[in-house]
Each structure stands twice: as C-alpha cells, then as structure tokens.
Amino acid sequence: MYNSYFQLNENPFSLTPDTQFYFNSQSHLDALNTLLLALRNGEGFIKIVGEVGTGKTILCRKLLASLDSSYCTAYIPNPYLRPDELKAVVGEELRVPNLSQLATHQLIPAINQHLINLASDHKKAVLIIDEAQAMPRETIETLRLLTNLETEKQKLLQVVLFGQPELDKLLNRADLRQLKQRIVFAEYLVPFDRKTLVQYVDYRLSSAGYDGPRLFTPAALRLLNSASGGVPRLINILCHKAMLCAFGKGDSPITSYHLSKAVEDTPESRPWGKMSAWLDRSVQPLIGLSLILALAFAAILYGGRL
C-alpha cells in the first residue's frame, strides 16, 4: 500500500501479534522476566493482566518463542471451552499418545501419565491460556484439577493466565479462592507514557525497514499520545491511518493534520485526543486569518505614517 512510498519493507503498524515487532517497554520487560524466572523455578500459577490492546497476546507469543526445547508447551488462545473440551485440547497440545481413542473419563489419567513421562525426561510442561477471563466457571474448576497433578517434589503442569482486568474479578469469587491462592506471581501491563510511545513508534518503523529522518512530527506524536492513551493497539491503528492519509495526499512527514484525520476515523480514540484533533484542525485556519489581519493592520499603520 504505502510501503514503497515511505521506503518500508512491510507494514510497521500491523495488528498481527508478530514477535518481530515486539517492543520491550518496562512493563513488558518486567512481565517477561517474571514469567521466565517463574517457569524456570517450577512455580505453579502466573497471571498477567492488562487492558484491551496493551500487548498481552504479543507478550504471550514472545514467551512461547523464548522457551527452549526443555519446555513442552500447550497454548490455548480461546478458552471459552467446556470442561471436557479443555481436557481434550490440553491433551492434544501436549501430544498425549492415542488421545483420540480415549474416553472422557480417561483424559486426566492419560494427561497425568504423559506429564510424568515428560518430567522423567527433564522437560517442563507449561499451559498458556490467553483471554483467560472468558473461561466458564466450571472450566476453571477443571483447570484447578489439572494443576493438582504433581509428584512429591514438583508440579507437573505450570499455568500462565493472560487476561483482561475482568480476570481479577472472576478470581475474586469466593468459590474460586483455592485457585486464586495458587497464583504465585502476577504482573500488570500498563499503557505507554509519552516518552515510551515515541520510542515505540520509532522502533516499529525501524523494524519495518525505515531508515530516514523522523517520520512523525512532534505535534503529530503529541496528538497520538492524547488520542491513544498510550495503548499499543490504538497507537498502531492511528499511525496506520495517518500514514494512509499522508500517502493519499503525497505528503511527508506525517503531521498533526494527518493524525487528526486518523483520530476522526477511529471511534476508539480517547475523548481528549478527539478534542485535541478538533482544536488542531480548527485553530489552523484561525491562525492563518489572524496573520492576514495582522499584516493588513500593519500595512494600514505603515501607510498612515507615510
């Protein structure tokens, strides 16, 4: 689309969670380090919580890419499953032998034996669940039963839960207190501050092959910060639309005008960002009119002195 125009190898602000574009903000770095340390030490449950669009899924993919062959991983991107479905998916992801030949009541014993075999081969089994807040109550109970599988010395299955803040509300239920007590570590992903946002935009552009002068003006970045609230997904959406606008007009660099058009086209933009975009576009014509009036007034004064 606009890649050749801006001398890019690929789209820098795609919403696909590509680990090539993973950006280590302090919040994401802390979470990843906690995850790797906890899994290395064989802790039971780890929880990562963040608002919509704060980068949970790409962190999840980065974690999977960071685990070496000593780990056997099961990844469930959509946990809205019935209890039997959860057991079947976990068994499939962990490559339990002859899974299709097993009756429902045989699933947990088969998973247990497979986990014992993995442990004897010095492999750690890790279950990673994205969007964990979507799990039905009865499925969470099955998850708890799976984490009961252990030897005298170690847990056979470690679990990482990625979820929105609703996950905390779910786990605060009285009937889920046993599961909540098993969460050893918890990290919270937060939106970027303004400095980090600028670094993030530069990083995404350079990762896509951009090697020129700064593409977004300071005014555009200020508006981007206001409109996105520092949420990575919104940053990607707004930058992509602003680049489309600039490309369509044959402009470069990308200014607050292009960003304001992107904000207008994005209902999810923050209210203050929308106000800033409106002010930015409304004030520009007034500045031009004021300049004309000032010049006319000066000409009158200058002419009067003659």
pLDDT (tens digit per residue) in 116-151: 999 999 999 999 999 999 999 899 988 988 888 877
Q: Is residue 163 part of a domain?
A: yes
- Whole-prediction pTM value? 0.85
237-287 per-position pLDDT tens digit: 999 999 999 999 999 999 999 999 999 999 888 765 555 554 555 544 544
Last residue of a domain, one of 172, 189, 206: 189
Tokens standing for 294?
Answer: 């000032």
Give the integer Cα–Cα distance in Å for 186 and 158.
Answer: 14
Structure confidence at residue 92 (pLDDT): 95
Last residue of a domain, one of 189, 218, 237: 189
Give the integer Cα–Cα distance in Å for 258 and 133.
Answer: 37
Q: Is residue 21 part of a domain?
A: no
Is the same domain home to 235 and 171?
Answer: no
Burial class (CB in 10 A: 0-12, 13-18, 19+), 236: buried
Does position 298 have pLDDT exceeding 80, yes or no? no
- Helix (H, G, I), strand (E, B), or coil: what is residue 184? strand
Reported as type and span, the H/E element at residue 280 is helix 271-305
Q: Is residue 78 part of a domain?
A: yes
Does position 205 have pLDDT exceeding 70, yes or no? yes
Q: Is residue 235 part of a domain?
A: yes
**First and final CA of the chain: distance in angstroms?**
58
Structure confidence at residue 270 (pLDDT): 78
178-203 per-position pLDDT tens digit: 888 889 899 999 999 999 999 999 99
With contact defined as beta carbons under 8 Å apart, do 180 and 46 qualify? no
Structure confidence at residue 304 (pLDDT): 53
Q: Is residue 8 part of a domain?
A: no
Q: Is residue 7 part of a domain?
A: no
Is the same domain home to 274 and 171?
Answer: no
Q: What is the mean pLDDT of the chain?
A: 89
DSSP 49: E
Provide the domain limits for residue 260: 194-300
**Would the CA dihedral through 191, 194, 196, 197 be positive or negative?**
positive
Give the integer Cα–Cα distance in Å for 304 and 207.
Answer: 60
Is the same domain home to 151 and 283?
Answer: no
Structure confidence at residue 283 (pLDDT): 46
Which of 261, 243, 260 is closest to 252 using CA atoms? 243
Cα radius of gyration rounded to whole Å, the chain: 26
Q: Is residue 123 part of a domain?
A: yes
Is the same domain home to 145 and 246?
Answer: no
Q: Provide the number of structural domains found in the chain.
A: 2
Share of the chain above pLDDT 90, in %: 74
Q: Where are the alpha helices (DSSP H) in 41-165?
A: 56-66, 83-93, 107-120, 137-146
Which of 241, 223, 237, 243 is closest to 284 using CA atoms? 223
Structure confidence at residue 273 (pLDDT): 54
Q: Is residue 9 part of a domain?
A: no
